[in-house]
Chains A and B, each alone.
Chain A
Amino acid sequence: MIFAAILPGCSQKRDQRSENLVYWSSNNQNEIEFANAMVSEWNRRHPDQPIHTQPVPEGQSSEEVILAAVVGKTTPDIYSNMWQGDVEGYARAGAIVPLDTLPGFNEFLAERCDSAVIAEVTSSDGHIYQIPWKINPIMLIYNVKEMQSIGFARAPVTYSQFLEAGKRFQEDRDGDGYVDRWIGYANVKVTWWLRLFDFYPFYLAASNGGHLIQNNKVVFNNQYAVEVFRFLRTLYKKNYFTRERLDTRSDVFFAGDIASKFTSPWEITRIERYKSQNFDYGFSQIPTPDSHRGNVYTYADPKNMVIFSTTKNPLLAWQFIKFMISKENDLRLLEMTHQLPRRRNLFRDAFFAEFFARNPRMIPFAKQAKYVRGPDLSPVLKEIFDIISQEYEACVIYGVKSPEKAIQDAARAARLLLM
């Protein structure tokens, strides 16, 4: 029982350096280094107002840890890895500071982002509770040699091209009667956030950045969603994509078991580390319907910065944030983490030109950065994606529902939820 008395002291979560601000970065190694660099530089310049940084405590997901911190009122002052979709819920609960009430914020934001992005991050009450930091656009990564071997000099970009590639690539190499090579792969589990990396990018690409929910109304029951479902369903029906879970096996992309998958720039570091000598890969857009016109959009996977309401000095926190997302430090973000800052004209800005010249692998992403969307603003976004995910599994993976019916059912369930 003596343990019980001592232990709360040992696991002191409310680590109060009450004078100094606390900044939580993500627990990705590169980002930790970036955060440390930012904080050292800031502390050097402002020795009287030091900031302390630590990575968000490790857990199953940082979203969970943040929620626990909000509940336990142990939140830091600044957090930089807030998923855009979570903000609305926290805003409504009063857990984060409305940034547009801080002096200079609106001007700063207008300079950093274009109006579409600003609209994206504005909450339903008209205030802005987050500032866009970085994005990791979802694109298609493909094995150059394998694509060439089936006659594709570059990756397929339309649905029919992709299906054709799927047909050519499909093979049963070990002769056991089962296909063991597929043109691509998407995780088949029903977890809601997985759809952010398959269904959602396809939907955005097909609809030129369309919404799922707008003004608290369901708008995703349209032809684009149906087309996306139909296309993906065909992939699974013809076994160009497999229903088995390949993520429990050793890396299938390197092994050539799949010729492509959907990923974002962070994968570059990983691939460079683990790939074999002559493995060549490229990035391409998300495939679109044959009838598609215009720019190809995708999902941004945006992470933004917020200031929690528990802070004692929001103005100072805002100064630090401004510092972290200045042009110079955005460049450092690129260099240290290979993730794109979400600022307008990233690719055309001369300031970053030299970086992209040195890192040509990032160029497709920089070009894509102009045509990305973050998740719609809704406090029940997760539930909406869960509903879509359930219908996705029934229609796309297991083919027990038609795409029209699946979207209809999803829309109905979503409407019930939004009432």
Chain B
Amino acid sequence: MKKILFYILLIFGAVAFTYPFFWMISASFAPETEIGKLVFLPSKFLLYSYRQVFAKIPIGRAFLNSLLVSASVTTGVLIFGSMIGYSLSRLRFRGRDLIFYIIIFTMTLPFQITLIPQYILMVKFHWVDTYLALIVPHLMNAFAILIFRQHFQTIPQVLIDAARIDGCNEFQIIFRVLWPNSIPALVTVGIITFMTSWNDVLWPLIVIRDDKLMTMPQLVALFAVGGRAESQLGVKLAAATLLAAPIVLAYLFFQKYFIQSMATTGLKE
């Protein structure tokens, strides 16, 4: 008997967390006038809202922008994070501890203080409205560095020594020895970095003003707030659905990795 109660509550929870998305998708296919009364499915499925989205804003381009930026940032973070993490965990040199403390310090530094000066830097470098402004300031991630450092500490020294004897330089050690043995860490850092980069809206809103370079969440957010949707509700919801689609699809297939990554990250805090 108690079990049935549990199931009812659990199902209620599942509905509470998923139904709103279902409604959103439904509304995006519904005729504009029906949306105010919609509960489950529209009376007919129209592509009108989607056509409007594509006609009004360069959402396809924004998707590619987001892809490019997030992929670049993730690649950068993985590579640089490994480099620094490796140096801090396995190499000895003067200033190693200082750098470690600096990294911890940057983690505690609230971004609210660096936001505006970083924008001014972008202006001075002439990076405003370029991909550089979106990518470069995010190439180093203290968090990733620490995860790699922690993980690399667990790799047996013998492997590294063996590689050195073979004549590998430090880079080759990272990519040929450490990486193959750090797949979970790579996946975790990769997914988190990609998602954080993809969902970031504040920074693009600050440094990008030109449509052609906007990231997808940024473009849709501006679409929601600005007048281009001409108060057509279905159109805004269609844009939101398009924005949600890539990550949700990835999630449906790889949910295990998503959940694990974010959980381990949380625990490591």
A293 to chain B, nearest CB (A): 36
* B33 cross-chain contacts in A, Cβ below 8 A: 250, 255
A1 within 8 A of partner (CB): yes
**Which residue of chain B has the shortest Cβ distance to A14 in the bound complex?**
B126
Contacts A248-B233, A249-B36, A250-B233 hold; do A57 and B130 have CB atoms under 8 A apart? no
B222 CB–A CB distance under 8 Å: yes
- Against A, the Cβ 8 Å flags (1 = close, 0 = not) of B148-172 are 0000000000000000000000000
Pair B210/A57 contact, Cβ less than 8 Å: yes
**Chain B contacts for A8, CB-based, 8 A:** 130-132
Determine whether the beta carbon of A68 is less than 8 Å from that of B129: yes
A65 pairs with B209, CB closer than 8 A: yes
Quick check: is B226 within 8 A (CB to CB) of the other chain? yes
Contact B128 A71 (CB under 8 A): yes
Residue B106, interface by CB 8 Å: no
> Which chain B positions have C-beta within 8 A of A7?
130-132
Q: Taking CB as reference atom, which chain B residue is nearest A56?
A: B210
Residue in chain B with minimal CB distance to A65: B209
SS class, residues of chain A in contact with chain B: helix
Q: How many of chain B's residues touch chain A, expressed as a range?
A: 20 to 34
Mask of A220-262 contacts with B, CB within 8 angstroms, 1/0: 0000000000000000000000000011111100010000000
Q: How far is the CA of A59 from the CA of B233 in the complex (A)?
A: 21
Expressed in whole angstroms, the Cα–Cα distance for A59 and B136 within the complex equals 22
Q: Given A3-B68, A60-B226, are A250 and B232 also a contact pair (CB < 8 Å)?
A: yes
How distant is the Cα of A1 from the Cα of B32 in the complex, in angstroms? 46
Q: Is the CB of B222 within 8 A of A250?
A: no
CA gap between A80 and B123 in the complex, in Å: 25
- For A, the interface residue count at a CB cutoff of 8 angstroms equals 26
Q: Which chain A residue has the least Cβ–Cβ distance from B58?
A: A58
A4 interfacial contact with B, CB 8 Å: yes
* Cβ contact within 8 Å between B129 and A13: yes
A64 close to B130 (CB less than 8 A): no
B231 contact set on A, CB distance < 8 A: 246-251
* In the complex, chain B residues whose CB is within 8 Å of the CB of A250: 32-33, 35-36, 231-233
Q: Do the beta carbons of B209 and A11 come within 8 Å of each other?
A: no
Nearest A residue (CB) for B214: A59
A72 at the interface (CB under 8 A from B): yes
Asked whether B97 is an interface residue with its Cβ less than 8 Å from the other chain, the reply is: no
In whole angstroms, what is the CA distance A11 to B33 when docked?
A: 41
Query: Complex: how many Å from CA A50 to CA B72?
Result: 41
Does residue B83 face the partner (Cβ distance < 8 Å to A)? Answer: no
Task: Return B82 CB to nearest CB of chain A, in Å.
Answer: 15
Q: How far is the CA of A112 from the CA of B32 in the complex (A)?
A: 45
Known: A72-B123, A249-B36, A250-B231. A60 touches B209 (CB 8 A): yes
| Segment 50-76 of B: residues with Cβ below 8 Å from A | 58, 68, 72, 76
Interface residues of A (CB under 8 A from B): 1, 3-4, 7-8, 10-11, 13, 57-61, 64-65, 68, 71-72, 246-251, 255, 270
A7-B131, A251-B230 known, 5 other contacts, Cβ within 8 Å: A4-B132, A11-B129, A57-B211, A72-B129, A251-B231
7 tightest A-B CB contacts, nearest first: A58-B211, A59-B209, A7-B131, A57-B210, A68-B209, A250-B32, A60-B222
Contacts A/B (CB < 8 Å), 11 sampled:
A3-B68, A3-B131, A4-B72, A4-B132, A7-B130, A57-B209, A59-B210, A65-B209, A246-B231, A250-B233, A270-B230
